[in-house]
Structure 1
């Protein structure tokens, strides 16, 4: 009887996984049509729907299995046999690592994240380090044998859309000129260069991205060719990205997930990893929409790192938060965040509200300015790796979420997020080093981050420097979500004039303040810390202190306008004579 039940579990899980993959691919397959129709709102809606798809199928599958089998489903020994049956069933699939992760998700849903055992689930994958070689040609190969211009012309023809190129000749000229200027170490005229280009085009927001690798005698380099819609039924090449750091930013953890056709995920990720080896496999899986697989890959890499390191978890540097407590392992580039038991009286949020805010960020366009996170339940840590200071802090501020038993520390709920340098610490260092160019850059980045979030209909709420981080690429990213809200839900007001001096001197406002009222003039407190900081901010982004700016942004969002926020600098873009470059905040 046990074998029969195990077979039923395995079959039910696989059936629901196959349904999930089909629906995932169906949503993705329409990406090019949405791009060609310039249906930007449909693109955003499809991105959110695809994220929801996993949890929807997961819940249906788990509920169905429990309903079919009844109480016997909670017999852990049954899942030992179910895992074995399932492993046999997925051997011939081209996405077995994703299938394992889906099984894990259902197992954890049934057991409410308690019985973590590799004998019952796939904590370690049978396919780790074994990418599937499908034998398919998932790249097109080009050569400069007939000349660079001929190569570029063939490439644009092969990647033609169902709408015309705005000016194919101009795009080829721009690309050839840029390549000759920025690949000086390759003598394109004399040395044969080959170019591998992934057949699948990557779609995200208002862009389409052609991704590949340039191979020459002494090495190789990645490239990305962004293609944009001109709003009048044609497309054009916007630039050519060649530097590995710039390619990495396009695949950043601060961006929405790509829509891209992927037949064999491990093979696809393997090629991407050769282009940008600084990106972990976890980040790459997430970047193409397999965020649950990204979570699984992250956890395995975390286990491997623990086994190879001996440093201790510590309280994360920076000003302590009023809602979250944060700790990190110095040798691992991630922070772990958990909700405190009690919040500051100034914080009008609940534990449930905080979770909702993080889910909002997961589903929303992050515009390159909000960090993606991985959410975990009952995360296990070795007690020996925690400093006593950290243990004391966790028991003091988040005791309900922390269980210490024997050699283990169990945290019932947390988020893992890429570690960044807190902006307040970064600014303090720039001031201490009298590095005005760096200070100018990071304050400019801070203002642009706020504006780009506003363009994406996000109001950050608490915009203190401590709630932002600086990435290794020097980009400023928001990472404290407990007060974010949609821009359109805010009521931006000017502070009314006081009727008499005593009102201004009062500790209480002399005007009414509604729940969602925001007074941008008060943002001046953000830069009150230093005269240099204030001068630079006011020079570059003083409009953020005016209610009129925010009201214009609200109107823009309500009108359905989606501002261009590109994952590369304005200076990188090719000139288009007589064409508007569009409104953007890069």
Structure 2
């Protein structure tokens, strides 16, 4: 038996990874029970626990390493070189090799404070060959249509093993078949070889269970997602088990991409072979980066690894350079982008504009809050990096000069290298204020509607954005409005929504009425308009679309619902797509 220090180091790291995977799997597998029982609050807690789990297990493993090995050995890069080789052999038979490599990387970075990032000592490049033999585990179940789409949908729902009975399976499958008849390409609908294929794994999130796969036929394919939910306002069956209904049928790539959006909470889904599951999902959503899909199924740390590798490859192509982000410059963050990578980088400035009463530590906690919270499809996911190092000629000179000026404690030059001590990355979007200046009237009406919907849906999830300026929201390629500036975000229940006293007049904010005091958490919805819109016509249209946002009682009602323990539904598809009328 190999007992060298390097081998024992590798074995100790693998022990820590296995402990992480065991706990991760236990939380994930319990999602079926939580859905079956309608334990929605418990589901939220499980989601947070699973996000926190990774860092907890890394911290535990680091402590174990420090107890087991001397500091001299732990900080010797050549020992890690040998340990990397042993570790690659130890994990070779596993079905989650890529996740195990990321865990090794996390421990290396914890020991070396995110320095010495070299493939010799950690897995900058995966040891798993792209052409590696497939596991042989069957990912999907498949059924030919044989001219009966309703029967095929019944097979799809019954085979998911959701345990709860459906309230009216015949109605659900009839509505689903009618929708497919209306929306499927004719070549698939009429094809003799038409078939439905679904992943064995069920994707749980919030109050939904999602069956994911595709419809094929006539040499074509479209993605397929079947969202299943508890019956609304219906009695339970005789055993006290909530009944289910099919909520809609989704087959467009954009609809499916929104289900797997970077702005949503991670799915609770048990997958035997993560990279094969991600590969399948990429065939359904070719524009989705692998990193986003790993994050979507819960492996957000490996999603970060995939993102980092893809970014390095993109930077190496030298198609463009890092530039200052278009739009209004932030008061707290310095923001730059690599356009070809569709990625935004955010750095906390050394000093903030006087209007911002926050500290760097508060800003970091706000970003952590959003990471742990249900983002309800309206808040961008972030990745956090330390000691991010790039050659200085990858920067536009104006951009680099700006970063060195506003964040000298975070951005430094070491020879020809730019070292960024700490930064966040997000998916690049078009700032809402810029989008409104460029879009036509029809798109403007749609995006103003979605802007208000975004604010309402965040509020329903107990999130108040704080600063609702247009520049703090972005627009995705699907036209969805996403919030991405978190330095003033807070829980809705922490806010004190107030009406302006009638006797205060227009000068209350300037102190014209000494008897009217304003607390730090006081918010006056009547005053939102001027802060949100400089354009009076856009404000008029927005107020027509969302008049309740300017009413104190609306916000107070949401707060009361949250305090009462209600979990307000936020659907990842439009209400007009739901079978809700037939399901009630």
The corresponding residue for 1:13 is 13
Q: Is the 8 A contact 2:187 2:220 kept in 1?
A: no
Give the drift of 1:300: 0.4
Mapping 1:229-244, distance limit 5 Å: 229-230=230-231, 232=236, 233-244=242-253
The corresponding residue for 1:193 is 194
Mapping 1:440-459, distance limit 5 Å: 440-459=445-464
SS of aligned partner of 2:502:
coil
**1:67 aligns to 2:47 (yes or no):** no
**1:531 aligns to 2:540 (yes or no):** no
Give the drift of 1:374: 0.5
Q: Is the 8 A contact 1:229 1:236 kept in 2?
A: yes
Q: CA–CA distance in 1 between the matches of 2:413 and 2:336?
A: 16
**1:153 aligns to 2:154 (yes or no):** yes
The corresponding residue for 1:313 is 322
**1:473 aligns to 2:482 (yes or no):** no
Q: Which moved more, 1:296-305 or 1:509-518?
A: 509-518
Q: CA–CA distance in 1 between the matches of 2:337 and 2:346?
A: 9
Q: Is the 8 A contact 1:144 1:188 kept in 2?
A: no
Mapping 1:212-227, distance limit 5 Å: 212-227=213-228
**1:324 aligns to 2:325 (yes or no):** no
Per-residue CA deviation, residues 285-343 of structure 1 (Å, 9 max, x unaligned), is 00000000000000000111112233111100010111100001121201100100001
Mapping 1:25-36, distance limit 5 Å: 25-36=25-36
The corresponding residue for 2:291 is 282
**1:204 aligns to 2:199 (yes or no):** no
Q: CA–CA distance in 2 between the matches of 1:510 and 1:318?
A: 40
Q: Is the 8 A contact 1:34 1:42 kept in 2?
A: yes
The corresponding residue for 1:56 is 56
Q: CA–CA distance in 1 between the matches of 2:429 and 2:513?
A: 37
Q: CA–CA distance in 2 between the matches of 1:37 and 1:303?
A: 45
TM-score w.r.t. the length of structure 2 is 0.95
Residues 368 and 425 of structure 1: is their aligned pair in 2 closer, same or farther, counting only changes over 3 Å?
Answer: same
Q: CA–CA distance in 1 between the matches of 2:543 and 2:478?
A: 24
Give the drift of 1:467: 0.5
Give the drift of 1:503: 6.1
Q: Over aligned residue pairs, what C-alpha RMSD do you find?
A: 1.8
Residues 513 and 276 of structure 1: is their aligned pair in 2 closer, same or farther, counting only changes over 3 Å?
Answer: same
Residues 117 and 538 of structure 1: is their aligned pair in 2 closer, same or farther, counting only changes over 3 Å?
Answer: same
Q: Is the 8 A contact 1:132 1:266 kept in 2?
A: no
Q: Which moved more, 1:470-479 or 1:436-445?
A: 436-445
Give the drift of 1:527: 4.3
Q: CA–CA distance in 2 between the matches of 1:544 and 1:194?
A: 46
The corresponding residue for 2:391 is 382
Per-residue CA deviation, residues 415-437 of structure 1 (Å, 9 max, x unaligned), is 1100000011111223xxxx222
1:337 to 339, 342, 346: 346
Q: Is the 8 A contact 1:527 1:537 kept in 2?
A: no
SS of aligned partner of 1:325:
strand
Q: Is the 8 A contact 1:132 1:264 kept in 2?
A: no
Q: Is the 8 A contact 1:165 1:236 kept in 2?
A: yes
The corresponding residue for 2:525 is 520
**1:369 aligns to 2:378 (yes or no):** yes
Per-residue CA deviation, residues 450-481 of structure 1 (Å, 9 max, x unaligned), is 11000000010011111100111100010000
Give the drift of 1:148: 2.3
Per-residue CA deviation, residues 6-63 of structure 1 (Å, 9 max, x unaligned), is 1121111000100100110000001111011111111110000001110000001012
The corresponding residue for 1:76 is 77
Residues 547 and 90 of structure 1: is their aligned pair in 2 closer, same or farther, counting only changes over 3 Å?
Answer: same
Q: Is the 8 A contact 1:90 1:96 kept in 2?
A: yes
Q: Is the 8 A contact 2:202 2:209 kept in 1?
A: yes
The corresponding residue for 2:168 is 167
SS of aligned partner of 1:294:
helix
Q: Is the 8 A contact 2:187 2:217 kept in 1?
A: yes
Q: CA–CA distance in 2 between the matches of 1:117 and 1:288?
A: 28
Q: CA–CA distance in 2 between the matches of 1:447 and 1:132?
A: 49
**1:564 aligns to 2:569 (yes or no):** yes
Q: Which moved more, 1:149-158 or 1:495-504?
A: 495-504
Q: CA–CA distance in 1 between the matches of 2:265 and 2:505?
A: 50
Give the drift of 1:146: 6.2
Per-residue CA deviation, residues 82-134 of structure 1 (Å, 9 max, x unaligned), is 11111111011110110000000001001111121111000011125346511
SS of aligned partner of 2:402:
helix
The corresponding residue for 2:239 is none
Mapping 1:37-56, distance limit 5 Å: 37-56=37-56
Give the drift of 1:439: 1.3
TM-score w.r.t. the length of structure 1 is 0.95
User: For structure 2, which runs of at least 5 residues remain unmatched after alignment?
Assistant: 237-241
Give the drift of 1:192: 2.2
Per-residue CA deviation, residues 152-201 of structure 1 (Å, 9 max, x unaligned), is 22222212422100100001111111111111423645622122110010
Q: Is the 8 A contact 2:191 2:217 kept in 1?
A: no
Give the drift of 1:443: 1.0
**Structure 1 stretches (4+) deviating beyond 3 angstroms?**
187-190, 498-510, 575-578
The corresponding residue for 2:557 is 552
SS of aligned partner of 2:409:
helix
The corresponding residue for 2:300 is 291
The corresponding residue for 1:87 is 88
The corresponding residue for 2:144 is 143
The corresponding residue for 1:415 is 424
SS of aligned partner of 1:331:
helix
Q: How many residues align?
A: 574
The corresponding residue for 1:583 is none
User: For structure 1, which runs of at least 5 residues remain unmatched after alignment?
Assistant: 580-586
The corresponding residue for 1:582 is none
Per-residue CA deviation, residues 345-387 of structure 1 (Å, 9 max, x unaligned), is 1211111111111111111000100000110000111211111
